[in-house]
Amino acid sequence: MPELPETETIARDLDAAIRGARVVSVDVARADVLRETDAKALPRAVTGAVITGVARRAKSIVMDLGASGRLVCTPRFTGALLLDGTPDPRYTCLTFDLEDGRRLRYHDVRRLGTVAHLNATGYAQWDGSLGPEPLDPALTAARFAAILRGSTRAVKTLLMDQRRLAGVGNIYANEALWHARIRPVTRGARLSHAAAHRLLHALQLVLRDSIALRGTTFRDFRDAYGGRGGYAARLAAYGRGGLPCLRCGATLRATHALEGRQTVWCPVCQR
């Protein structure tokens, strides 16, 4: 599932490419991906709108249409916003024709992702339901420590709770905890302030490095031009269960016992 680095990559690509473009028509081929609108209402609402910017919030790409509201795309497992190219029409759910002749398509093989059309009130409610962004300068070490230390849940679970911290999923939670030398099942309330500060630094480092390499692609993630992310070669924990720890050489352990998600850690380094 695309996380912060992957959706940030898409948002930056699209902002540079289509900011200022006008939507001249919308084709809805698969209405089941729509939220807060329907196949008839969406074209009426956004045709003629100018895209004033594209940004990311949490794991979603937000297309600002000015007075026409915002489109919030959450790709989930196989969704992608693709600019031009020739994606398989069987999986093209939405097509936005732009005035300059280009096409932006929402493509989703499994159709588990969503595209919501939100007015100002709806967007404010959605935005307010999410936690702070991990790369926001306003997220201080003290605030981050309070988020984690205020719960008895496992720290990995807390990192992935979008109400507490926006944008982090399973891949980067595993990676940040490995870099910070913290065991994933450690209870948030048991983290020292120093450990929480170390974890924030590790998380921000991992996220920035992944953004620089345009995210992580195992199979499905594609950027706005259909390209693959390059961070998979840098992964130190996620997907490496049974392999040697890159830091100490011990065999990494893996389990799905923590909320059914793959958790990988080093029994020696992470305590």
Look up the CATH number of the domain holding residue 94: 3.20.190.10
pTM recorded for the entire structure: 0.95
CATH assignment at residue 230: 1.10.8.50
Q: Do 173 and 93 belong to one domain? A: no
Q: What is the per-residue pLDDT for 147?
A: 97
The stretch 184-212 carries a mean pLDDT of: 97
- Give residue-wise pLDDT tens across range 8-36: 999 999 999 999 999 999 999 999 999 99
Query: With 0-12 CB in 10 A as exposed, 13-18 as middle and 19+ as buried, what is 271?
Result: exposed
Give the separation between CA 11 and CA 224, rounded to whole angstroms: 8
CB 245 within 8 A of CB 269: yes
Q: Would residue 135 count as lying in a domain?
A: no
Give the separation between CA 59 and CA 266, rounded to whole angstroms: 27
77 or 205: whose pLDDT is higher?
205
Active site residues: 2-3, 59, 261
Q: Do 181 and 243 belong to one domain? A: yes
Q: Do 94 and 206 belong to one domain? A: no
Give the separation between CA 30 and CA 42, rounded to whole angstroms: 12
Q: Would residue 188 count as lying in a domain?
A: yes
Q: Do 121 and 173 belong to one domain? A: no
**Number of domain units in the chain:** 2
Q: Do 32 and 107 belong to one domain? A: yes
CB 131 within 8 A of CB 162: yes
- State the pLDDT confidence band at 192, using cuts at 50, 70 and 90: very high
* Domain housing 51: 4-128
Q: Do 202 and 121 belong to one domain? A: no
Q: Do 124 and 150 belong to one domain? A: no
Q: Do 67 and 169 belong to one domain? A: no
Q: Would residue 117 count as lying in a domain?
A: yes
- Among 128, 157, 181, the domain-final residue is 128
Q: Do 46 and 111 belong to one domain? A: yes
- State the pLDDT confidence band at 217, using cuts at 50, 70 and 90: confident
Q: Given a cut of 80, is residue 1 above it in pLDDT?
A: no
How far is C-alpha 191 from the geometric centre of its chain's CA atoms?
26
Q: Do 11 and 109 belong to one domain? A: yes
Q: Would residue 134 count as lying in a domain?
A: no
